[in-house]
Structure 1
Amino acid sequence: MATASRTLWKGAITFGLVHIPVGLHTASTEQGVDFDWLDKRSMDPVGYKRINKRTGKEIDKDDIVKGFEYEDGKYVVISPDEIEAIYPRTTQTIEIQRFIDAHEIPFVYLERPYYVAPINKGQKVYALLREVLAKTGKVGLAKVVVSTKQHLAVLVPAGEVLVLNLLRWGDEVKSLAGLDLPAAGVKGAKVTASEMKMAEQLVKDMSGKWDPDEFKDEFKHAVMKVVQKKVKAGDTETVIEPEEEAPAQGAEIIDLTELLKRSLKGGKAAKSAGTPAKKTAGAKPGASAKTGAAAKKATRKKAPGPRRKAA
């Protein structure tokens, strides 16, 4: 099982005047099978190309703009400066909006979990929030910015840890309209008493405790067995990544990584302009926590096309 060692940022949980310094950690990892495309004639990697869909010709990256389709075939072009201006401000806070009953949030809204751990002597206040949520059966509905995107999230006690689970926005969850569903209730669904009794007995017979280690990604393990067998037999190929050409002088490349770097430089400049006030666990400060770690390095590009990943 993977460990939750990676820290996304250090900030705070806030509600009312309470301020809990915390670190946000990844709680999950994707370990599906991901294949690269290779040219079978030379074992060269096959990469992305920017193709004009009408002419079929490759175009230069500097000739690409970002457009939003507001009607079929009609677009609004958004410039890099306009995109940068409206990116959510990184506040480094998990700002609780309200407390709600834990059972009020349907599973369909849950998207991605993160572990939240106390830092800077915030253990006692952290424990207080965790225990009061567990005792009252409540969860904290919050707003948080992760990777420049604002999310609705829910803060849930889970044993010793508080888990922040990002939620889908209301307009991202489809309605039930159009689904052919049976009526709710035993009578409405026309289920007989004997059928219900037998079904209850079957559920009882098949019931057990939750143990995630009992279930494996069978496709991934089968692929890895094939890989290991081929490696052991020496049935391998060497792939050499070609060096990427340097961008033309004067060409301005606007991407997410560059925007993050600019944001970090701006944060450092603002910090050097004055001395920040000292923060104390349990009291909500007037200013937000400082900006988190620098953006991670871009990973090697994967080849296009369908890729099978186990659920």
Structure 2
Amino acid sequence: MKPRAIWKGAISFGLVHVPVALYPASQDAGIDFDWLDRRTMDPVGYQRINKRTGKPIKGTDIVKGIEQEDGDYVLVTDEQIKAAYPASTQSIDIETFVQAAEIPFLLLEKPYYLEPIGKGEKVYALLREAMFEAGVIGISRVVMHTKEHLAALVPMGPGLVLNTIRWASEIRPVDELKLPPAGRAAAGVKPAELKMATQLIGDMTTTWDAERYQDRFVDAVQKLVKQKIAAGDTKVVTPIEEPPEKTTTSNVVDLTELLARSLAQRQGSPGPRKDQKKSATSGRGTGKASQPKRA
């Protein structure tokens, strides 16, 4: 079953806008233990409780507050938060293009699929093919669920994938840990030991295949579930349905003109310097994302 779109807007590429819908690219493959009332087999939900009184509170009575240093709170509404980012709430703004290998694995967070909507198929394909041709990924900003995310726009097979990236401030400094010094000599690694370890790694190296790896805990629980089903040990639970989501469409026009105007605006504007220093998180020993490849 096709997942429900969690966000709709457009990729901003110069003056060109690609209307897209955002879908989760990952799913929870673990065991989902639902809470049920033992007496009636009714689903049990999470209840919002006032921490001072211990009494339940309605969702309409809950507001967002940001605590200050003096203990006071500043209250903000969803409308005020959206107004703070009027141009970003419905757009994925590409700020620059970089080599995929420059992004450390440590920064990668969560992937999403992007699907063209409205009449955006042609410009969607154009952006995808241009990125494949240049061998780059796009670094962009997007606001989802009232929070701004840094993200990488990656061409993958016939589609585009948006992978959120952690902010540099979210990565703890590695110097908080007690680690052996970098370099074989400083770490006291002997040449013979390094040679044998390298040989062992070579013998264990294979081509990556995600299908070879399964969650053994899930397999064990599923086996238990099948045994209970065979024994007739099941209960009937009536699910609670949710209303379907409404959809909207967008249009893209004058693609050639918009591309020409975007290029004209870039003339005279200095691009990113190739000799820019890399961030602290992309130093020695960090994993790097691979170049975009077709599936």
Same fold (TM over 0.5): yes
Q: Does 1:220 pair with 2:229?
A: no
Superposed displacement of residue 140, structure 1: 1.5
Match of 1:13 in 2: 11
| Shift in CA distance, 33/193, structure 1 to aligned 2, threshold 3 Å | same
Query: Number of residues paired by the alignment?
Result: 252
| Whole-Å separation in 2 of the counterparts to 1:64 and 1:22 | 32
Choose 199-208 or 161-170, whichever is displaced more: 161-170
Choose 219-228 or 194-203, whichever is displaced more: 219-228
Unpaired runs of 5+ residues, structure 2, are 262-295
Question: What amino acid is the match of 2:205?
Answer: S
Choose 204-213 or 99-108, whichever is displaced more: 99-108
| Whole-Å separation in 2 of the counterparts to 1:44 and 1:91 | 38
Q: Does 1:29 pair with 2:27?
A: yes
Q: Is the 8 A contact 1:130 1:162 kept in 2?
A: no
Question: What amino acid is the match of 2:81?
Answer: I
Superposed displacement of residue 7, structure 1: 4.8
| Shift in CA distance, 204/282, structure 1 to aligned 2, threshold 3 Å | farther
Aligned equivalent of 2:253, options 279, 282, 303: 279
SS of 1:53's equivalent in the other structure is coil
| Shift in CA distance, 68/225, structure 1 to aligned 2, threshold 3 Å | same
Superposed displacement of residue 79, structure 1: 4.5
CA-to-aligned-CA distance 1:211-247 (integer Å, 9 cap, x gap):
111111221222222222212321112335799xxxx
Choose 213-222 or 30-39, whichever is displaced more: 30-39
Superposed displacement of residue 55, structure 1: 3.7
Match of 1:194 in 2: 192
When the two structures are superposed, what TM-score results if normalisation uses the length of structure 1? 0.66
Choose 52-61 or 160-169, whichever is displaced more: 52-61
User: Where does 1:247-266 land on structure 2 (aligned, <5 Å)?
Assistant: none
Match of 2:287 in 1: none
Match of 1:105 in 2: 103
Q: Is the 8 A contact 2:18 2:252 kept in 1?
A: no
Q: Does 1:84 pair with 2:79?
A: yes
| Whole-Å separation in 2 of the counterparts to 1:61 and 1:152 | 29
| Whole-Å separation in 2 of the counterparts to 1:51 and 1:9 | 29
Superposed displacement of residue 184, structure 1: 1.1
SS of 1:177's equivalent in the other structure is helix
SS of 2:253's equivalent in the other structure is coil
SS of 1:122's equivalent in the other structure is helix
Q: Is the 8 A contact 2:98 2:138 kept in 1?
A: yes
SS of 1:199's equivalent in the other structure is helix
| Shift in CA distance, 16/278, structure 1 to aligned 2, threshold 3 Å | closer
Q: Is the 8 A contact 1:100 1:141 kept in 2?
A: yes
User: Where does 1:12-161 land on structure 2 (aligned, <5 Å)?
Assistant: 12-20=10-18, 22-59=20-57, 61=59, 63-71=61-69, 74-80=71-77, 83-87=78-82, 88-89=85-86, 92-117=90-115, 119-122=120-123, 125-134=126-135, 138-161=136-159
| Shift in CA distance, 92/229, structure 1 to aligned 2, threshold 3 Å | same
Q: Is the 8 A contact 1:18 1:282 kept in 2?
A: no
Identity %: 46
Question: What amino acid is the match of 1:169?
Answer: W
| Whole-Å separation in 2 of the counterparts to 1:53 and 1:60 | 13
Unpaired runs of 5+ residues, structure 1, are 244-256, 287-311
| Whole-Å separation in 1 of the counterparts to 2:61 and 2:11 | 43
